[in-house]
C-alpha cells in the first residue's frame, strides 16, 4: 500500500529540527510535493539558546514568519567582551543596519512550532516517530530508503511497520508493509531518544518510554557502565 495519502512526494526531508522544517516549508511554498519525517515523538523537549542573526531573520521574513518569531524572541543589540569582571570591548549589533539590526534569541522549540504550524497550513504534517533505517543509491532506480514507524507501547517504542521509499525520475514512491519485527531493547530506545546531543532527565525518559522507574534505572546504569551515557546537571547525555 502507498504511504503519504497515496501521493508520491518529490522530496523527503529527514529531520524536523529548525533547518529541516525551514527546508520543507520553503519547498512546499514553491509547490514541491514534500514530506518530512523525524524519529522523535515531538519537537525537542530540551531547551537551549538559539540565536537568529539578521540574515536568518530575512530568510524567515521571505516566508512571512519574521514578525511572529521576533515577537517571541529576546533582542540582543550589543555584545560585551569581558576579562574577568573588566569590560574590554563591545560589539554593537544595532549599528550593522539592515531590516533586523539585532540578534533574536529564543528557545528552539518555539521556532520549531512556528515553522511546523506554517507547514501544516501548506497541507504538510511532520511524521513524528519515523526513523530512516537505511538509504541506498540505486543506479537505475534512483534512491531507496527503509523507514521505520515507531509506535509507543506500554513497554516502550516498537517498530509498527516498515516503509520502503523509492525515488524514480525525481519522484518518491513509498510502499508500506505491515509486520511485527522484534522490539528494540530498552537501552537501544534510550540511545535513540538521546541522539543528536539531546539531554533528558530521568523523569522525561521514563514518560517518553512509558516504563517503570526500576527498569529504566537498570538500562541507564548499564549504558553508563559501558561508557555510552553520562549524567549531567541537566539530565542524561549520550556519549557516542
How far from the centroid of its chain's Cα atoms is residue 52's Cα? 17
Cα(103)–Cα(32) distance, rounded to whole angstroms?
31
Which residue, among 1, 6, 3, 9, has the nearest Cα to 122 in the 3D structure? 9
Alpha-carbon span 151 to 159, nearest angstrom: 6
For residue 71, pLDDT beyond 90: yes
What is the per-residue pLDDT for 105? Answer: 92
How confident is the model at residue 123, as a pLDDT? 92
Distances (CA, A) of 53 to 17, 46, 226: 17, 22, 40
Q: What is the pLDDT of residues 89-99, one digit of tens each?
A: 998 988 888 89
Q: Tell me: the pLDDT tens digits for 114-151?
A: 999 999 999 999 988 888 777 666 655 556 667 777 76
* pLDDT, greater one: 16 or 42: 16
* Residues shown for the chain: 240
- The DSSP secondary-structure symbol of 64 reads T
- Percentage of residues in the chain having pLDDT higher than 70: 75
From 150, 153, 155, select the one nearest 133 (Cα to Cα): 150
- Inform me whether the pLDDT recorded for 165 exceeds 60: no
Please say whether the dihedral angle defined by the alpha carbons of residues 237, 38, 67 and 79, taken in this order, is positive or negative. positive
* Residues facing 137 on adjacent strands: 143
Q: How far apart are CA 111 and CA 108, in angstroms?
A: 5
Three cell numbers written together for 193: 531518544
Q: Give the mean model confidence (pLDDT) for residues 148-177.
A: 45
Sequence-separated (6 or more) residues with CB below 8 Å from residue 123: 28
C-alpha grid cell for residue 107? 528557545
Domains assigned to the chain: 4-44+123-178 (3.50.50.60), 50-106 (no CATH), 186-238 (1.10.10)
Burial class (CB in 10 A: 0-12, 13-18, 19+), 166: middle
Within a 13 Å sphere around the CA of 145, how many CA atoms are in the beta-carbon half?
Answer: 18
Contacts of 89 (CB under 8 A, 6+ apart): 80, 81
Mean pLDDT, residues 173-188 taken together: 56
Amino acid at each position: 500500500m502507498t504511504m503519504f495519502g497515496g501521493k508520491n512526494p518529490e522530496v523527503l526531508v529527514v529531520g524536523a529540527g529548525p533547518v529541516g522544517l525551514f527546508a520543507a516549508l520553503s519547498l512546499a511554498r514553491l509547490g514541491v510535493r514534500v514530506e518530512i519525517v523525524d524519529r522523535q515523538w515531538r519537537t525537542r523537549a530540551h531547551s537551549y539558546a538559539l540565536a537568529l542573526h539578521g540574515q536568518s531573520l530575512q530568510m524567515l521574513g521571505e516566508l512571512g514568519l519574521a514578525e511572529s518569531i521576533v515577537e517571541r524572541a529576546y533582542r540582543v543589540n550589543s555584545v560585551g567582551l569581558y576579562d574577568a569582571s573588566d569590560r574590554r570591548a563591545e560589539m554593537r549589533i544595532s549599528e550593522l543596519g539592515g531590516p533586523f539590526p539585532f540578534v533574536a534569541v529564543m528557545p528552539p522549540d518555539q521556532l520549531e512550532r512556528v515553522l511546523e504550524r506554517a507547514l501544516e497550513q501548506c497541507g504538510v504534517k511532520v511524521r513524528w516517530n519515523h526513523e530512516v533505517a537505511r538509504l541506498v543509491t540505486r543506479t537505475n532506480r534512483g534512491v531507496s530508503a527503509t523507514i521505520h514507524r515507531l509506535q509507543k507501547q506500554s513497554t516502550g517504542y516498537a517498530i509498527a511497520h516498515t516503509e520502503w521509499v523509492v525515488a524514480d525520475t525525481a519522484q518518491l514512491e513509498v510502499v508500506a508493509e505491515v509486520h511485527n519485527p522484534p522490539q528494540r531493547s530498552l537501552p537501544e530506545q534510550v540511545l535513540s531518544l538521546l541522539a543528536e546531543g539531546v539531554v533528558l532527565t530521568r523523569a522525561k525518559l521514563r514518560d517518553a518510554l512509558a516504563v517503570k522507574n526500576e527498569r529504566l534505572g537498570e538500562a541507564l546504569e548499564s549504558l553508563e557502565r559501558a561508557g555510552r551515557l553520562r549524567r549531567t546537571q541537566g539530565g542524561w547525555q549520550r556519549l557516542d
